[in-house]
Chains A and B, each alone.
Chain A
Amino acid sequence: MIVFGQLALGLALLCSIVAIGALFWGRSLGPRDGESITNAGYYATFAAMGAYTVTILVMVTAFFAKDYSFYYVAQNHSTDASSLAWLYSISAVWAGREGSLLFWGWLIALFAGWVAYQRMDKTDDLSNMGIAVTNIVLALFGAAMLFSEPNDPFKLTPPEFLSNGQLIGQAAEWGMNPLLQHWAMILHPPTLFIGYAGLTIAFAFAMAALITNDASKLWIDIVDRITVFAWLFLGAGNGLGAIWAYVVLGWGGYWAWDPVENASLLPWLTGVGLIHSFTIYKRRDGFKRWTILLAAVTFALVILGTFIVRSGIVQSVHAFTEDPVSLWLFLSMIIGSVAAAVIGLWLRWETFAGNDEFESLTSKEAAYYFNNVIMLVSSVLVAYMTMTSAFPAWMPFGGQSISATSFDLLARPIGLVYAFLLALCPILLWKKTDGTTLWKRIKWPLAGTAVLFPLLMWEWFANLRPIYVFMIAQGGEGARKLLAFGPEIVYDVISILAFLAAALMFSTTVWLFVDGSRKRAAARGESVWASLVHIIFRARTQSGGYIAHIGMAIILVGLVGSSMYVRDVRLNVPEQAGATFQVDDYTFTFQGISEDQLKNGDIVAKATFAVQRDGVSLGTVDPGLTKFARQGQTRLDARVLIEPLRDIFVVWEGSEEGQMSVNVKINPLISFAWGGFGVLMLGAALAAWPKRAPAAIVPAAPVRKSASSKRKVAK
């Protein structure tokens, strides 16, 4: 069966190469003479998609059949015995490097097939080239797997590890890393990879626009939904990773500026710039060079992320060092994609000039511009800071590693500026917003802010600031992180301003919906609710975007609480029923430990605590330990007790001589981060929803108070 997989992978590579050849050859012959050749390129693209699908099916079948002659199956199969076991047989496909590449390649092939299907009745020059560039990327992936042994998903298990189809000796301990056996890990990698794969299309069509010298918005129309869709999945993937880090890794946090996390954040940041540039490209005929550049940089960062994580240049876990083929392939994709964009733009500089006139700083254009600048600078900075340890000593911080606190030191002020930008951008007009108009558009949002901000301040004063005081008094690493910001006033100002920005951002964006539906209702004589529904579901790109902004405002509140004000306490508790301890207002009473052995030999232990706040019972938490018999590893199963305004995060780290080591973290407002994230995703999903008919969105800048401007969402 493994031969079947290898053949299919070889066929997939061949099809991609045929597609590239046919599409370029067809182009050189011209639209009439080259039509049949070009068509062959489309069919080869579908064939590549089919061949990749076969490789995935072969791999999944091998996992279900526990066919250990596949080296990849031998090393990544799950030994889980829970009800999720069958899902782990699927998720094992992306549990290792070789399978991840295969899965990723398959997704690119699916996207390529989808776009080819959409455009096959047009076979216009732009689409042909876009599909050709996608196939180039696909061919590089295929080559990375076929010609580099460490990446080959269809390797045979060396015979000394196999006896009658069973793994023996050292190999008997192989299997999926137990920490990956979690529902979030079933979903997290594929969502990320869908995002990665989708962003390939944006890059490919940006290149196609350069190749065909076509600066019209046609390429944007083809890729904008796919890009928002990809960006949505990239975001969701990051969110799931954060949940997994929070619950499984027992960090009690969700963001540690770990290289692996940074890697997937980078393309998401430039993706924000990219999808906003699309708007300007489509609606104002501007930001054309920005858009091309951001599409290329975003793609390069996707590959760079993989490169950072897998190359071992930052941390030597699984190195490409012994694997020059993938080193060069991935490096050439990173440098090649950005170089192609830069050279292409240089050659096509005039075509992609666009309408980039700035009238005023208080305009939407300026806000979008700063959005791009901040996103690009932040991602370059994060990328640089993630990799400093691999750089020579003459470069800033070369050879040094930058701590998470340093990232925070930079991210918080930048984030704050960005938050205010985000709060004000929606109420700015195109071209110029004069003082009178600005006041008209901000007075109601300010009134909203005047209600929300005091509420947040009350929470800050009553619940958050005391945590700062407590953590400083407790000392140690927790205090060091806070003191890195200097005197307390700096920390206070950052959090207070962030709350102000969040309140303003929420108010301005909600006001747009209120104002838009009131005006529409008045103009059309329909109810305000009908207008609101119309705005939300008809002008999806715009309303989805604004809903995403509301999500950001909610996330911001969550970030301030749960990243800046965590109460972190570690205690030893006697292992006697009835033993109690206190953290903040919460009283924990130990009830007992239960231990179960699963069929596969794993031992699941749980320590149960009853939790009370001010004498009121909140139920129990039962943090656990899972000892994986086969791998000899232990996984800590953190438990979270969710209160409306804070999470109580409890980890039992094991017992020594009748003393349990317990870590309790109280994460204030963290549910705002998750909830806001949900709203953000909902907004992005709305914006990514496929267009049936061209949506009736007109750039509705109410320059004058004409009746026509009342019909649309104010933007």
Chain B
Amino acid sequence: MNKRARSRLIGVTAIVILAIAAIFFSLGSLGGTAYYRSVEELATDNSLAGERVKVGGTVVPGSWDKKANPMNFEIRDETDDKGVGPTVRVVYTEGVPATFGDGVTAIITGVLGTDGVITSAEMITKCPSKYESAVGAMSIDDLLAGGETYVGKTVKATGYVKTGTIVAPGGESRFVVTNEKGAGAEVRVAWEGALPQGMADGSNVVLTGAIGQNGDFVATNVALEGTDK
């Protein structure tokens, strides 16, 4: 055993590991880290204002406008598939990434402002090793709150069928959906196609279509919410 060679070997190993550790622990001061939070945590707790945060969520359909400069949009937690939870607004200063769109999962890194808005220049749209397409439907409240913005614009919305409102096709509307089960804002849905099997009073439905001039929702597809997705 060559003792000198061995101690040199250990010495070099120590230097290599110390050097790596030194860079590692300085990453924080180099601005390379961000606090990872959910939308809900950011919406309810503003103690991280001024810090870099990272948050992932589903892009709220219709909340964005590509023409705006800088572009801004809202996201909500992915687990919030009913679309009732809080949202966080993001101001994105860079060019919009390729896969951005309604219902896409976006992971944003940026600075949280005191107003709760994240100013970000770093966004990754989720690499789809997620295997189910995002539902990304908006609530009836959101839909109605948008007023004129959604008129004629195809969106996905989700709500509950109001008891006793389902009628045969041919009339002006086919059924009425409400924001919560049996309560909340409501909208009439025009739909001439077949209703999904098993749809009944109180069913949670996902609608695709657009708000018409008269304020009714003109559906192009009506589906039951897939609970097991």
Question: Could you tell me the distance in whole angstroms from the C-beta of B118 to the nearest C-beta in chain A?
Answer: 13
Tell me whether B226 is interfacial, beta carbon within 8 Å: yes
Residues B198 and A160 in contact, CB atoms below 8 Å apart: yes
Residues B8 and A402 in contact, CB atoms below 8 Å apart: no
Residues A370 and B16 in contact, CB atoms below 8 Å apart: yes
Residues B33 and A397 in contact, CB atoms below 8 Å apart: yes
Tell me whether B34 is interfacial, beta carbon within 8 Å: yes
Residues B13 and A373 in contact, CB atoms below 8 Å apart: yes
Cα of A515 to Cα of B183 in the assembled complex, Å:
84
Number of interface residues of B (CB under 8 A): 68
A358 and B5 in contact, given A173-B133, A177-B128, A406-B27 (Cβ under 8 angstroms): yes
Residues B30 and A250 in contact, CB atoms below 8 Å apart: no
Residues A172 and B127 in contact, CB atoms below 8 Å apart: no
* Chain B residues packing against A (C-beta within 8 Å): 1-2, 5-6, 8-9, 12-13, 16-17, 19-20, 23-25, 27-28, 30-36, 54, 56, 66-67, 78-79, 93-99, 101-103, 105, 107, 109, 121-122, 124, 126-133, 156, 196-199, 206, 208, 221-226, 228
30 chain-A/chain-B pairs, Cβ below 8 angstroms: A75-B132, A160-B198, A163-B197, A168-B196, A169-B197, A169-B222, A173-B223, A174-B132, A177-B133, A179-B128, A260-B127, A309-B129, A315-B126, A361-B8, A377-B20, A381-B20, A388-B33, A396-B24, A397-B28, A403-B122, A409-B27, A413-B23, A417-B16, A570-B94, A632-B102, A633-B133, A636-B98, A653-B96, A653-B98, A661-B96
Residues from chain B with a CB closer than 8 A to the CB of A61 are none
Question: Could you tell me the distance in whole angstroms from the C-beta of A190 to the nearest C-beta in chain B?
Answer: 15
Residues from chain A with a CB closer than 8 A to the CB of B67 are 656-657
Residues B33 and A400 in contact, CB atoms below 8 Å apart: yes
The 10 closest A-B pairs by CB, nearest first: A406-B32, A250-B98, A169-B196, A389-B36, A570-B95, A170-B223, A477-B121, A636-B98, A169-B223, A401-B36
- Pick from B13, B27, B78: contact of A317, CB below 8 A: B78
Residues from chain A with a CB closer than 8 A to the CB of B225 are 170
Tell me whether A580 is interfacial, beta carbon within 8 Å: no
Residues from chain B with a CB closer than 8 A to the CB of A158 are 228
A480 and B121 in contact, given A170-B206, A170-B226, A403-B34 (Cβ under 8 angstroms): yes
Cα of A172 to Cα of B121 in the assembled complex, Å:
37
Tell me whether A318 is interfacial, beta carbon within 8 Å: yes
Tell me whether A631 is interfacial, beta carbon within 8 Å: yes
Residues from chain B with a CB closer than 8 A to the CB of A396 are 24-25
Residues from chain A with a CB closer than 8 A to the CB of B1 are 357-358
Cα of A39 to Cα of B128 in the assembled complex, Å:
45
Cα of A417 to Cα of B16 in the assembled complex, Å:
9
Cα of A256 to Cα of B20 in the assembled complex, Å:
21
Residues A410 and B98 in contact, CB atoms below 8 Å apart: no
- Quick one: which of B66, B78, B105, B129 has the most chain A CB within 10 A? B129
Residues B223 and A381 in contact, CB atoms below 8 Å apart: no
Residues B94 and A377 in contact, CB atoms below 8 Å apart: no
Residues B24 and A373 in contact, CB atoms below 8 Å apart: no
Residues from chain A with a CB closer than 8 A to the CB of B109 are 401, 403
Question: Could you tell me the distance in whole angstroms from the C-beta of A681 to the nearest C-beta in chain B?
Answer: 23
Residues from chain B with a CB closer than 8 A to the CB of A361 are 5, 8-9, 12
Residues A661 and B66 in contact, CB atoms below 8 Å apart: yes
Cα of A95 to Cα of B124 in the assembled complex, Å:
21
Residues A160 and B224 in contact, CB atoms below 8 Å apart: yes
With A366-B5, A377-B17, A477-B121 already in contact, 5 other A-B pairs whose C-beta atoms are closer than 8 Å: A75-B132, A173-B133, A250-B98, A401-B34, A656-B67
- Pick from B79, B131, B132: contact of A316, CB below 8 A: B79
